[in-house]
Structure 1
Amino acid sequence: MTPDGAPGTSGASGPPLVLPDECERLRTRLAAVARGEGFLLLGSDPGGLPAGTRTAGTLPPDTQAAGSVDASAQQLGHRLAALSQMAVLLTYALSVPVVRIGPAPERGCEAAAANLARAFIANTGVHQLHARNREFAARSPAGAHHRELTRRIDSTLAFMRACGIDPAGSRSTR
């Protein structure tokens, strides 16, 4: 969005990066957060952290190809996944919608990043994100803190299936 609230553009002659209906949905969801009816999860760029610091959703240096478009897309995908996984846990724990605002893409890649984010959100359901959380809890020493929460979410998803509600058809928090 531009400072006056209008959808941003990818350039003077390019198409809008953010569609008007996306801006309106964000305004509506942020208003709910302001009323205490939601939670804002703000992802940030770990670029200002000390060298060697790993954050959720970042790739180890040996798996990154410096300056590669593929590496940038992969890095953004990992960040989106981490942010979405956190949103699932927070939605369950807080019982309110979570509004995610993700990390800023590299300069010049804004349109590709916006399209990647749209595709990720449209094609990744709660069930898939919870499976990733379960994997994290099983393999990470820090995951021990999350195991009880993942078991409770498993029970909730099983309850939903027993009631005829298809959790696989439920999309992640948008």
Structure 2
Amino acid sequence: MDYATNQPLGLETPKLWIIPARPLVCVLAFIGCARGVASLIFSGNWGERVGDIIFLLLNLMLLFGAAKNNECALKWSQRVVFIAVILAVIQFLIWPVMFASYTASGLSDKNNTMAEIEDVLYKTEDEKKKMFARGMITGYALEIGTIVLVGAEVLKYVLVNRLWKYAKTTENIVVGGNQYIVP
């Protein structure tokens, strides 16, 4: 039996259930990068692109840290993901309200050519109720989407934290040498 290929006692590579953490972090960071590039391509104005650029850069730094896979890079990746979690929570607080209001006010209609005064004068009560319902549905849908975004960022943070602890422990074994754990 070859003991050299086994992990040190009590040290298993970090996993999320049965999925190894490092490849999962790399895949999530790559998906975040792809989402950022797609958002940059399809977003309309520079106000929307600033957030997309920030998330793209954060995911690129995370991808680099997960690929490097040492204690220092993973510690910085952990900090980067913490910033991404905070930004995702801020988006969760802003986006649903903003887009629900945008939809309910009728500004999301592309064919709205009426003047604002005519809009107020001629809209019936039923049309206003429909606009309100559309705004509510938009708000709830965006809440679900941003909850998924926050959940993905928290998952990244947990996985990077596990990878960092593992890298820290294994580097101490390899570099410092622990007399009680046989590598």
Per the TM superposition, whether the score is higher than 0.5 is: no
Larger Rg: 1 or 2? 2
TM-score (norm 2): 0.28
Greater fraction of residues in helix: 2
Higher relative contact order (CA 8 A, sep 6+): 2
